[in-house]
Amino acid sequence: MNEPVDTPLTVPPDSDRKASVRSFLNKLTRRSKQRRRFVVGTAVAAICGLLAGVISFRLLPGLSARDLLPAFVLPHGAGGEPRSSQGPDNRLLERHTRRLTLQTTGSDAGPDGARQLAQAILATVRNFYVDADRVTDQQIGELLVKVIRRKSGQFQASIDGNAIVLSENGKASRYQLNPAGMVDAVAAVSTAMASTAAENPEADDSSVEPAQKCRDLLNALVAELDPHSSVMSPSAYSELRQGTEGSFGGLGVLVGIRDRVLTVIKPLPNSPASRAGILAGDRIVRINSQPTFGMALEDLMEFMRGTPGTHVMMRVLRDGGQAPMDIALKREVIQVDSVTSRLVEDPKLKILHVTVESFSAKTSREILTAMKSFKRTHGAIDGMIMDLRSNPGGLLDQAVQVTDLFLEDGVIVSTRGRREEVEYAGKGYDEVEFPLVVLIDEESASASEIVAGALQDHGRAVVVGRPSFGKGSVQTVFELPYEAALKLTIARYFTPANRSIQNVGIIPDMWVQPLIERGENLNLLGQSRYRNEGFLLHRLDEKLQTRQHLVALDERMSESCCAKAYVMAPRSEENDTDESIEAARLLVAAARDVANRHGQDKQDHGWAPGRARSLVTDEVVRSKFGKLASEAANWLRSKFGIAWEVPNGKGQFLSLAVDPSDVEFTVQSMTGTAAVSGADARFLWTLTNKNPHPLQRVSVYLRASGFAGETKEILVGSINPGETRSGNISARVPFAPKNESWDVDIGVALDAWPVAPLTRQFHLDTQIVERPSLNIVSSITAETGGVPNGVLDPGEKANLHIVITNEGHAPASDLEFHVVNLSGARVSLGDAKLTVSQLAPGAVTFVDLPVLFNGNHVIGEVDIGVSVDAREMEKPLDRQITLPVSVIAGRVGVMSSPAVQQ
């Protein structure tokens, strides 16, 4: 998840630590006497497992964040963006880009490298972490002992009085529980771990330098503080910087994994890919002779990266093509826009739809450019939709500047950490003459939430969509010795109305909740439910806000200004009606109608603060969305017998905030305290309503904690006073390389909102079990119409004989076989099925796949993707098989085919 972060700074690791820290503080805290300003962001960070530290982008239907990455290569330039003469100036970025020079000698090898790195990291954490009372010497020492126990198998660690005791091979060493002592302890452990790794070349560990081990060790320590703090390797820091500069070296193509094949989502304008004729939907079969089928996207990116000016050869298969094409591309510096815009279809109004992918260095300028361009083409803007859905955040100063475009004065955001700072809107280029709607969803985070919250609090915009991610903290990036970096949480931010969105998010004025048509009562409200800050491990808790938030939510959702509509999700891409955009369009139209009826001038336009949100119910929900909500409720009742029609009245959340015991919720683990990796963990739940009023729109959910945790939800409906409902819910225990713990939250949601007091937490110890290990070998058999020599001739028919062996120590059950044609019309594949239901250890089975080689095309090889999966396997076995073809076929193709593009 991209986060608001501050400017890279450097902590001097010299011996005079106190003087260095004092100097560091003085330089960091310089502020203008004329007005207080925010600490600027310079880098965005990725959601663990979602965006892999690269530029953010809109998720497309059918793709997960891990399946979609832009193909770029190297950072361009070392500094920030230059000031622009157009649009708001980047004043925050200008002010806080001063860096302290860190002098280091030699490489990061040896104990001195680990010592310098540990001193820099621990000093920064103590002096700048948001909660000073959580980073005392005692607490850092306890965390250090915890991570040493977990990361190092050769040490026993404990705290004895005022010292950390490390025992190795029966020999104990004591380190004082103070800054110097903890630095010595980290250096000693890192050096020993590096030495052990170097002596064991068979170990799956490339970190053999003490500084690398120190970085890993202290990364685990700061990760215990909160999910957004981390110690970054030089490569990770380099990629993080790339994500904020808006320019990359690469091919200029957005790619994803579809049907296990690397597929072009879209080429970027004016890029090597677009000039070479690469189109959306093209499948990339090979990169520089490297087969791509079944490879992880992160690994494939390494083959697409390289120095600008170098060449890449890609083999591309187009739908309907006779054969793949070999296309030569030269890597270039790619300028990536964070903003796209279009005209919304409306018979009467000219509405600008601006999609903000992330908040990078040029976002405010790009939005301003989009508005000016729209005016030149279409005239005045009747209304604007700012789409922040799936926007993971980015630069804090850009969030401020974007908000400032639409406000004339007032607070935009404030932060509170070791000090409090406030950012105000200023006089400048203020676009206030038209209605503004902001779209958010559960993947809108951080900087996106700052913009949505500020515009909502000032009544400048109506917010539509679903509650946002709830990341209410600010990170800064501190440069470390040897090109590493520390990303550290330094503050919490608050909206103009003094709201903290930590673990809560921005609640939209109009909550549009899709209802998915499925055959079973599972995840009917979407699989991305509850993937928010409140379910991350080691999150910053706002326990004092739990009751206050329930009260505020109860009052807000019962006000006339706000509404919620459950709508049936589109059944197909052909009927892909975006109900959030439709709601925004109706809101703009309603505002214009109000202005016209009352004869108001253009500056008022029916969107004045205090009146805009009333349009949600008065002009929108009571018309189209009231009917859509009825359709969704009728479907739930007819399909599953679930009563979902009655909206919540005031008091439901309030009663739970006052007395959670009005609802009795018990959960029993049918698995016990241990779970088998790859198996199902089952839980039995019972829910009793002791409240004198019915509980409405009730659901029970399971959420595995962490960034990539699984979510399952079962809709229950209404529960009358005194009524008890029960059921069970299960989740697949994730595969893990070693025995480790697994945290699960099971809770109750009312009206699609989790109620914190009704959450039950389980901590399971996963046990690794033997798994099958499949292997594939293939050969050409049963050749007819050609020379039977194991080589395909033009017009020849044959079988691809695929032998599958279980080389593991556990059986493989429920085997599935999948094949993909990677060679176009030059080869035809028949049907082949895998009939065996279980493959014992050491057992062999086979599949004969009919193949017809048509030949006569430029590329000699025939590529076929084969995939075999089993229930016990962590992931399918994917293999790209290359079939040999006759030399004649290749020569004929060279003479007759114009398919090669250079």
The residue type of 862 is: V
C-alpha span between 537 and 261 (Å, rounded): 33
Catalytic pick among 56, 414, 446, 580: 446
Burial (CB < 10 A; 0-12, 13-18, 19+), residue 708, is: middle
Cβ proximity of 397 and 415 under 8 Å:
no
Which of 441, 425, 619 is closest to 527 using CA atoms? 441
Cβ proximity of 338 and 357 under 8 Å:
yes
Which of 587, 621, 584 is closest to 386 using CA atoms? 584
C-alpha span between 12 and 191 (Å, rounded): 22
Q: Which residues contact 891 (CB under 8 A, 6 or more apart)?
A: none
Count of other CB atoms within 10 angstroms of residue 330: 13
Cα angle value 803/809/811 (rounded, 5°): 65
C-alpha span between 448 and 391 (Å, rounded): 6
Q: Bridge-partner residues for 848, per DSSP?
A: 801
Asked if 446 is an active-site residue, the reply is: yes
Count of other CB atoms within 10 angstroms of residue 254: 23
Cα angle value 648/727/872 (rounded, 5°): 120
C-alpha span between 845 and 867 (Å, rounded): 14
C-alpha span between 337 and 267 (Å, rounded): 13
744 SS3 class: strand
Catalytic pick among 213, 266, 350, 471: 471
Q: Bridge-partner residues for 805, per DSSP?
A: 775, 844
CA distances (Å), origin 525, targets 518, 528, 730? 10, 8, 17
Which of 150, 155, 191 is closest to 173 using CA atoms? 155
Catalytic pick among 457, 554, 745, 793: 457
Which of 563, 620, 562 is closest to 594 using CA atoms? 620
The residue type of 37 is: R
Cβ proximity of 723 and 692 under 8 Å:
no
C-alpha span between 691 and 721 (Å, rounded): 6
Q: Where are the alpha helices (DSSP H) in 405-473?
A: 447-457
The structure tokens listed for 836 are 């065996």
Strand 163-168 and strand 156-160: the pairing is antiparallel
DSSP-assigned letter for residue 82: P
Asked if 173 is an active-site residue, the reply is: no
C-alpha span between 480 and 12 (Å, rounded): 9
The structure tokens listed for 48 are 């663990």
Asked if 457 is an active-site residue, the reply is: yes
The residue type of 712 is: K
User: H/E element holding 120?
Assistant: helix 111-128
CA distances (Å), origin 825, targets 324, 822, 830? 9, 9, 13
Can you list the positions of beta strands (E) in 466-586?
473-479, 485-494, 510-515, 563-568
C-alpha span between 831 and 818 (Å, rounded): 10
* Alpha carbon of residue 264 to chain centroid: 20
Which of 731, 676, 680 is closest to 705 using CA atoms? 731
Cβ proximity of 179 and 82 under 8 Å:
no
Radius of gyration of the chain (CA): 29
Q: Which residues contact 235 (CB under 8 A, 6 or more apart)?
A: none
The catalytic site residues sit at: 446, 457, 471
